[in-house]
């Protein structure tokens, strides 16, 4: 019988047992980072002329009207732990011939303000008012505990003498979207 | 070398002792008994054979259509995130990873008469293929911020895996001097299964009317089938004892057949062909299927102003988001069921034409007084195809065979397939007394560094052949 050591199959076998994997480091997977950016619509609502008119006293309501909505974009611990920046986009359709002043505030569960934007003015009959606000989380850690968003809308004093007519339908339409910048 | 690296290296080394499902080296090589599994109509010239239990055919193969281990894990000081992004940029929904293991537990055969050779055996096979869901992975990794209007397709979710035992018996029948045909009957015993295919549904984002964006989840129809993997809570729960037992006898039974032929057009020109695993497994036990069907649209949360409430200052106490969630769940319900289902085996097609030339040697057939001409050299071409969830994969092989002696044969192949256009393979078959062994190495140029290989395939086996 031929010596097995000289058998080509055996030599092949030995060759195959020698290392055929070169220089790999699987620990590198722990260095993987991601910077996803997610865009989504947020809240939207419409306020009509009746909102700004006290029909009992037949007077315009000039004090701020506030609306709260839950803001659960930060409900996920993954989002909270990895959020770098939030950009909020506002698109407002003002059908009134009056200006409005709008303020957005973020609140926590106790209704304490965690972050607020500067009040911005929406001109009369501006059918597509666009506005963006950015929140850098590193500079606004309190923002991460936000669970509600509060909108304060105030009818600005009339400069032309026009008054709200409760019988003529007019709307103030709010649309919002958020862009969430994350980094793992 | 730490423990995890050792395990990975061991698995990859172990994968050296395997053969690709495209057994281009083994197919039609040297009239070995093992060729009967790739062509039941292969000719044999021995009285009986017995495979060494567990060693006559042992394989583990991993292949990838695009990615290699080195693409990510080479210790080259390049930032891993950069390498990961580069790889994501290269992959498409047509790219896949697959692996196949086959352990021949029993393998034997005997000559019934001068026309018929019967072979039988039992092997265990694990086969898996998974395609890259390009839209979903990129959307999760990058988000939709830079491409908000891109459509995400759920049809890209495609994978299929089976672990089963196969009990088989076949006959190779010599019709006449020119033609040999064969068939093999297979009884499948399914142990584990997972699959998802023919899914549909998209997520699209458009400019909204009620809000800035409107997102549509349209016609979602996702179906995930499994057997032996999940418990009633949809958690992975594999009972090892039951799994192994089901390789041999389970209620997930199926049948299949292989057919093949060898035709000598002339003493020097030979045509062969086979179709393997025309069959299915009916999964009726340990089923846990999940279906998600429906459509939904999302354009944010509408805060409603209640006009019947004259106290305009009161915030509306309404959990809009819970309503939103419930609405989404109602529109796109997820259901589990235990309905039985049928899984078709991937069908393999082989075809080859071989031209033999050179020094002729007349060798007496072992079963009668006739002689067969064997030539020292052969060249030819082989074609291979396998049906897969996305499409049929094909490969073409050119080969050269050399009979160095009556008992020592070598084969050289060049194969073009989904993995590589530079796949060179080498095989040898030798017999010492009744002890036969063979070794087949595919993709030899990458054997010195498997990390850069898209596939690796080496096979060897030991049999006892009685002439």
pLDDT of residue A111: 87
Provide the pLDDT confidence category of residue B8 given band limits of 50, 70 and 90.
very low
Give the model confidence (pLDDT) of B237-250 as tens digits: 777 777 777 888 78
Of the listed ranges B21-25, B46-50, B287-291, B416-420, the one predicted with least confidence: B21-25
Segments making up each domain of chain B, as ranges: 3-398
Contacts of A72 in chain B (CB under 8 A): 321
Mean pLDDT of chain B: 84
Q: Once rounded to an integer, what is the mean pLDDT over residues A103-122?
A: 89
pLDDT above 80: residue B302: no
pLDDT of residue A2: 41
Give the model confidence (pLDDT) of B174-188 as tens digits: 999 899 999 999 999
Which uninterrupted H or E stretch holds B272?
Answer: strand B269-283
pLDDT of residue A148: 81
Is some CB atom of chain B closer than 8 A to the CB atom of A45? Answer: yes
pLDDT above 90: residue B350: yes
Q: A37: left (phi > 0), else alpha (psi -120 to 50), else beta?
A: beta
Provide the pLDDT confidence category of residue B338 given band limits of 50, 70 and 90.
very high
pLDDT above 50: residue B431: yes
Give the model confidence (pLDDT) of A31-44 as tens digits: 899 999 999 998 88
Q: What are phi and psi of B141, to 5 degrees?
A: -80, -45
Q: Contact at 8 Å (CB) between B329 and B258?
A: no
* Runs of H (alpha helix) within B69-149: 69-73, 80-90, 134-142
Q: Contact at 8 Å (CB) between B238 and B259?
A: no
Distance from CA of B73 to the nearest CA of A (A): 5
Q: Once rounded to an integer, what is the mean pLDDT over residues B310-338?
A: 71
Contacts of residue A71, Cβ cutoff 8 Å, sequence gap at least 6: A42, A106, A146, A147, A148, A149
Q: Does residue A79 or residue B393 have the better pLDDT?
A: B393
Q: Once rounded to an integer, what is the mean pLDDT over residues A146-157?
A: 86
Mean pLDDT of chain A: 83
Q: Once rounded to an integer, what is the mean pLDDT over residues B313-331?
A: 67
Q: Kindly determine whether residue A43 and residue B315, on different chains, have CB atoms separated by under 8 Å.
A: no
Cβ-Cβ pairs closer than 8 A, A with B, add up to: 174
Q: How far apart are CA B215 and CA B222, in angstroms?
A: 19
Is some CB atom of chain B closer than 8 A to the CB atom of A183? Answer: no
* Runs of H (alpha helix) within chain A: 8-17, 77-82
Provide the pLDDT confidence category of residue B22 given band limits of 50, 70 and 90.
low
E-strand ranges in B93-244 read 96-111, 116-131, 152-153, 159-174, 179-196, 200-207, 213-227
In eight-state DSSP terms, residue B313 is T
pLDDT of residue B147: 86
Q: Report the percent of chain A where pLDDT is more than 70.
A: 85
Quote the tokens at residue B31: 């009239």
pLDDT above 70: residue B408: yes
pLDDT of residue B450: 67
Strand pairing class (B269-283; B253-264): antiparallel
pLDDT above 50: residue B220: yes
Reported residue count of chain B is: 467
Q: Kindly determine whether residue A7 and residue B74, on different chains, have CB atoms separated by under 8 Å.
A: no
Give the model confidence (pLDDT) of B89-99 as tens digits: 999 999 998 88
Q: Kindly determine whether residue A176 and residue B211, on different chains, have CB atoms separated by under 8 Å.
A: yes
Predicted complex ipTM: 0.81
Provide the pLDDT confidence category of residue B351 given band limits of 50, 70 and 90.
very high
Pick B73's closest partner by Cβ from A28, A36, A67.
A28
Distance from CA of B82 to the nearest CA of A (A): 9
- Angle (CA) B113 B119 B120, round 5°: 145
pLDDT of residue A10: 46
Q: Contact at 8 Å (CB) between B417 and B402?
A: no
pLDDT above 50: residue B122: yes
In eight-state DSSP terms, residue A6 is G
Map residue B432 onto helix, strand or coil. Answer: strand
Here the contacts of B358-367 (C-beta below 8 Å, separation 24 or greater) are B361/B403, B361/B406, B363/B45, B363/B406, B365/B45, B365/B114, B366/B45, B366/B46, B366/B47, B366/B111, B366/B467, B367/B47, B367/B111, B367/B113, B367/B114
Q: Once rounded to an integer, what is the mean pLDDT over residues A177-184?
A: 92
pLDDT of residue A35: 94
pLDDT above 60: residue B128: yes
Q: Once rounded to an integer, what is the mean pLDDT over residues B218-247?
A: 84
Q: How far apart are CA A40 and CA B425, in angstroms?
A: 53
pLDDT above 80: residue B273: yes
Provide the pLDDT confidence category of residue A19 given band limits of 50, 70 and 90.
very low
Contacts of B142 in chain A (CB under 8 A): 34, 36-37
State how far Cα B407 lies from the chain centre.
Answer: 33
Highest mean pLDDT among A138-152, B59-73, B348-362: B348-362
Contacts of A64 in chain B (CB under 8 A): none
pLDDT above 60: residue B286: yes
pLDDT above 70: residue B5: no
Q: Once rounded to an integer, what is the mean pLDDT over residues A132-160?
A: 88
pLDDT of residue B216: 93
Of the listed ranges A5-19, B345-359, B360-374, B379-393, the one predicted with least confidence: A5-19
Quote the tokens at residue B81: 């995130």
Q: Does residue B454 or residue B171 have the better pLDDT?
A: B171
């Amino acid at each position: 019988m031929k010596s097995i050591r000289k058998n080509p199959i055996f030599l092949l076998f030995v060759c195959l047992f020698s290392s055929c994997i070169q220089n790999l480091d699987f620990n590198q997977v722990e260095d993987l980072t991601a910077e996803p950016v997610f865009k989504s619509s947020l809240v939207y609502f419409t306020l009509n002329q009746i909102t700004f008119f006290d029909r009992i006293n037949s007077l315009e309501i000039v004090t701020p009207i506030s609306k709260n909505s839950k803001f659960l974009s930060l409900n996920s611990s993954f989002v909270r732990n990895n959020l770098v920046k939030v950009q909020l986009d506002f698109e407002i359709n003002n059908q009134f011939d009056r200006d409005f002043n709008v303020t957005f505030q973020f609140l926590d569960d106790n209704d304490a303000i965690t972050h607020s934007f500067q009040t911005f003015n929406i001109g009369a009959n501006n059918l597509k008012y666009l506005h963006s606000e950015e929140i850098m989380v590193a500079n606004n850690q309190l923002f991460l505990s936000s669970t509600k968003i509060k909108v304060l809308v105030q009818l600005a004093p009339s400069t032309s003498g026009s008054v709200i007519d409760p019988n003529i339908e007019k709307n103030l339409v709010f649309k919002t979207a958020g862009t969430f910048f994350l980094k793992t | 070398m730490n423990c995890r690296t050792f395990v990975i290296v061991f698995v990859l080394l172990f994968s050296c002792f395997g053969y690709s499902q495209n057994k281009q080296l083994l197919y039609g090589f040297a009239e070995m008994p093992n060729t009967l599994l790739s062509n039941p109509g292969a000719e044999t010239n021995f009285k009986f054979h017995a495979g060494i239990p567990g060693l006559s055919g042992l394989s583990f193969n991993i292949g990838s259509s695009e990615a290699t281990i080195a693409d990510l894990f080479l210790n080259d000081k390049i930032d891993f995130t950069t390498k990961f992004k580069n790889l994501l940029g290269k992959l498409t929904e047509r790219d896949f990873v697959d692996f196949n293991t086959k352990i021949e537990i029993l393998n034997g055969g005997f000559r019934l008469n001068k026309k018929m050779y019967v072979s039988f055996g039992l092997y265990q096979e694990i086969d898996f293929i998974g395609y890259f869901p390009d839209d979903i992975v990129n959307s999760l990794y990058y988000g939709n911020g830079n491409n908000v209007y891109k459509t995400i397709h759920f049809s890209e979710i495609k994978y299929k895996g089976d672990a089963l035992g196969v009990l088989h018996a076949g006959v190779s029948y010599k019709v006449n001097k020119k033609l040999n045909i064969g068939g093999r009957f297979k009884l499948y015993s399914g142990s584990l299964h997972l699959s998802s295919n023919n899914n549909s549904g998209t997520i699209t984002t458009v400019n909204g009317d009620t809000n800035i964006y409107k997102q549509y989840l349209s016609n979602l129809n996702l179906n995930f089938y499994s057997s032996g993997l999940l418990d009633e809570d949809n958690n992975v729960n594999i009972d090892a004892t039951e799994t192994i037992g089901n390789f041999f006898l389970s209620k997930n039974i199926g049948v299949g057949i292989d057919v093949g032929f060898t035709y000598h057009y002339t003493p020097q020109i030979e045509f062969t062909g086979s179709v393997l695993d025309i069959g299915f497994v009916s999964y009726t036990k340990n089923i846990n299927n999940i279906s998600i069907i429906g459509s939904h649209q999302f354009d944010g949360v509408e805060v409603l102003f209640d006009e019947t409430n004259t106290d305009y200052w009161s915030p509306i106490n309404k959990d809009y988001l819970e309503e939103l969630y419930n609405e989404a769940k109602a529109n796109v319900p997820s259901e589990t069921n235990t309905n039985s289902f049928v899984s078709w085996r991937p069908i393999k097609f082989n075809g080859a034409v071989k031209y033999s030339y050179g020094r002729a040697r007349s060798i007496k057939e072992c079963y009668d007084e006739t002689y067969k001409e064997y030539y020292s050299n052969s060249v030819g071409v082989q074609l291979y195809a396998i049906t897969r969830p996305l499409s049929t994969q094909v490969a073409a092989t050119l080969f050269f065979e050399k009979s160095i002696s009556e008992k020592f044969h070598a084969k050289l192949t060049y194969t073009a397939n989904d993995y590589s256009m530079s796949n060179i393979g080498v095989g040898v078959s030798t017999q010492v007394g009744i002890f036969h062994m063979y070794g087949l190495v595919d993709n030899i140029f990458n054997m010195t560094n498997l990390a850069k290989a898209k596939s690796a395939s080496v096979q060897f086996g030991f049999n006892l052949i009685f002439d």
